[in-house]
């Protein structure tokens, strides 16, 4: 098997266990050897931010790279800077939604997109062979601080929404930044948009004392309670590096990401008079339902935001995103963008009315999720077997095996990080989703047994 350094979201681990300063130094050397020139670096708010920034920067400088230190910023803010500044690329020090003891290193390509797997493989090759660029004392790099990047990022967001409509609606918003990187930009953006902002956990604190940074219903109880107590128009929550946004409606209901994805997709297609929306095969059918009703079409990709972003570029899509609250607006940039998502939903609420009312127009589906153990070696064989087992049905093999039934669909997908398959089944009712899940689990278990015997 190929040696891997980067997972689905960069290199990640627990600090001073599997993510050490020594590792970060070598990752910095490998990235610098690959990128060369000038490279931007930024961090989220974790306690280990400075440690990793310094180690990665030392590695970059040792191979001759000039480091531009942007400070603490949301991931989409460094992406915006990289895209517009002509540097060779960027490095974001973050573990996104993981607990505070984790941190990670994520590469950004010269155009501001998340780095493609192909390019990551080239960096991995340098890392494992230790074939770093060699520099003498005369040509090592230096670090320069760059300020004001957060401001230009939120100014760009502001220019892309109908600020008059938002101001006139006199909205009250409760914002929860999870003590993460969104703290440095989103409260200021809300002020610029003329809304009344009530903030929670909106100061950067690396131990995440408010709650862990994955915006799950469990972690957002204070947000829900505050929306209810203040009668706010909506609640907004970011993950730790503020590339994703999750909403709470005016009645205090937590909204799952597929619902807000569908709402914004519907609005974008309506606004553009049609167009293509790109999303992974795992996304709820509620998105396709509303997009089609507005005269648009949906194109499905493999799971993962870099894949969605690249497909959007290729198809000149009007919108795209994932059901975890990672929404991509092509008029701004081809990456998940929490501030842009927040501003766009404020515009939609300002123009179209209460969020709870808008949500009632999005179709409801029930989801059944399961995990079934299977060793990595048999996964490919099992998928082939499933294709035979479901040959009577309509099947999509974009990522794993997605099977369409009369009353719903199921996606059987091997995990890239664990020895398991995941089964997602969706239908109009809970019972129907469970029946689809039962059927797929039975076929999957038989396929696994068959592969073991072979
Ligand atoms: Mg994130």
DSSP string, 170-232: T-EEEEE-TTSGGGGTHHHHHHHTT-EEEEES-S--TT-SS--SS--GGGGHHHHHHHHHHT-
**Distance from residue 215's CA to the centre of ligand 1 (Å):** 10
- Tens of pLDDT, residue by residue over 41-71, are 999 999 999 999 999 999 999 999 999 999 9
Q: What is the pLDDT of residue 193?
A: 98
**Distance from residue 325's CA to the centre of ligand 1 (Å):** 9
Higher pLDDT, 116 or 290: 290
**Distance from residue 306's CA to the centre of ligand 1 (Å):** 13
Structural domains of the chain, ranges and CATH numbers in brackets: 11-147 (3.40.120.10), 152-360 (3.40.120.10), 366-453 (3.30.310.50)
Chain-wide mean pLDDT for the chain? Answer: 96
Q: Is 85 a residue whose pLDDT tops 70?
A: yes
Closest CA to 331 of 312, 344, 318: 318
Instruction: Annotate 203-240 with b (16+ C-beta within 10 A) or e (fewer).
Output: ebbbebebbbbbbeeebbebbbebbbeeebbbbbbbbb
The span from the first CA to the last CA of the chain, in angstroms, equals: 21
Select which of 96, 285, 425, 451 is catalytic. Answer: 96
Strand order in the sheet with 196-200: 196-200, 172-176, 234-238, 245-248, 254-255
Q: How confident is residue 2, by pLDDT bands cut at 50, 70 and 90?
A: low
Distance CA 283, CA 275 (A): 18
Q: Is 401 helix (H, G, I), strand (E, B) or coil?
A: strand
441 phi/psi in degrees, rounded to 5: -65, -40
Residue 344 is encoded by which pair of tokens?
Answer: 């766009």
The whole-number average pLDDT for the span 434-449 is 96
Cα–Cα distances (Å) from 427 to 151, 219, 325, 402, in that order, read 44, 27, 21, 14
Q: Tally the residues of the chain.
A: 454
Q: Is 396 a residue whose pLDDT tops 80?
A: yes
The whole-number average pLDDT for the span 450-454 is 83
**Distance from residue 71's CA to the centre of ligand 1 (Å):** 17
DSSP string, 37-56: SEEEEEE-S-TTHHHHHHHH
Q: How confident is residue 216, by pLDDT bands cut at 50, 70 and 90?
A: very high
Q: Is 123 a residue whose pLDDT tops 60?
A: yes
Q: Residues of the chain with pLDDT > 70: what percent?
A: 99
**Distance from residue 236's CA to the centre of ligand 1 (Å):** 15
Cβ(350)–Cβ(170) below 8 Å: no
Q: Is 310 a residue whose pLDDT tops 60?
A: yes
The whole-number average pLDDT for the span 149-171 is 98
Distance CA 179, CA 181 (A): 7
Distance CA 100, CA 98 (A): 7
Residue 425 is encoded by which pair of tokens?
Answer: 């089944």
Least confident of 82-91, 296-305, 408-417: 408-417
**Distance from residue 343's CA to the centre of ligand 1 (Å):** 18
Q: Is 152 a catalytic residue?
A: no
Q: Is 1 a residue whose pLDDT tops 70?
A: no
């Amino acid at each position: 098997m190929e040696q891997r350094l980067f997972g689905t979201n960069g290199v990640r681990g627990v600090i001073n266990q599997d993510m050490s300063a020594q590792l970060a130094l070598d990752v910095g050397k490998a990235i610098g050897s690959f990128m060369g020139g000038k490279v931007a670096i930024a961090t989220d708010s974790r306690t280990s931010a400075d440690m990793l920034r310094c180690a990665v920067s030392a590695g970059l400088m040792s191979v001759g790279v000039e480091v531009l230190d942007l400070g603490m910023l949301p991931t989409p803010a460094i992406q915006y800077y990289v895209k517009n500044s002509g540097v060779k690329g960027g490095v974001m020090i973050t573990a996104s939604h993981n607990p505070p003891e984790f941190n990670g290193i994520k590469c950004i390509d010269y155009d501001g997109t998340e780095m493609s797997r192909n390019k990551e493989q080239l960096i991995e090759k340098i890392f494992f062979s230790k074939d770093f660029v060699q520099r003498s004392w005369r040509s090592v790099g230096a670090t320069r601080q760059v300020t004001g990047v957060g401001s230009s990022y939120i100014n760009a967001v502001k220019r892309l929404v109908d600020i008059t409509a938002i101001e006139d609606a006199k909205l009250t918003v409760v914002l929860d930044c999870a003590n993460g990187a969104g703290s440095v930009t989103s409260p200021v953006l809300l002020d610029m948009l003329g809304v009344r902002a009530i903030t929670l956990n909106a100061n950067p604190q690396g131990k995440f004392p408010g709650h862990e940074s994955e915006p799950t219903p469990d972690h957002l109880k204070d947000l829900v309670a505050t929306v209810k107590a203040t009668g706010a128009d909506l609640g907004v929550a970011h993950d730790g590096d503020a590339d994703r946004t999750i909403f709470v409606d005016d009645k205090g209901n937590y909204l799952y990401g597929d619902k807000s994805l569908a709402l914004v997709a519907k609005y974008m297609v309506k606004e553009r008079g049609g167009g293509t929306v790109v999303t992974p095969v795992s996304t709820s059918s509620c998105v396709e339902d509303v997009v089609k009703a507005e005269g648009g079409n949906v194109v499905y990709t493999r799971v993962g935001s870099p894949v969605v972003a690249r497909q959007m570029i290729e198809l000149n899509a009007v919108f795209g995103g994932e059901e975890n609250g990672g929404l991509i607006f092509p008029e701004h940039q081809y990456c998940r963008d929490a501030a842009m998502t927040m501003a766009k939903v404020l515009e939609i609420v300002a123009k179209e009315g209460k969020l709870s009312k808008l949500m009632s127009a999005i179709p409801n589906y029930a989801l059944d999720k399961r995990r079934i153990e299977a060793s990595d070696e048999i996964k490919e064989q099992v998928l082939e077997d499933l294709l035979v087992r479901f040959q009577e049905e309509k099947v999509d093999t974009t990522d794993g095996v997605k099977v369409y039934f009369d009353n719903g669909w199921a996606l059987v997908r091997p995990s890239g990080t664990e020895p398991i398959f995941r089964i997602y089944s969706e239908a109009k009712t809970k019972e129907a989703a469970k029946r689809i899940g039962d059927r797929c689990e039975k076929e999957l278990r038989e396929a696994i047994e068959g592969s073991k015997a072979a």
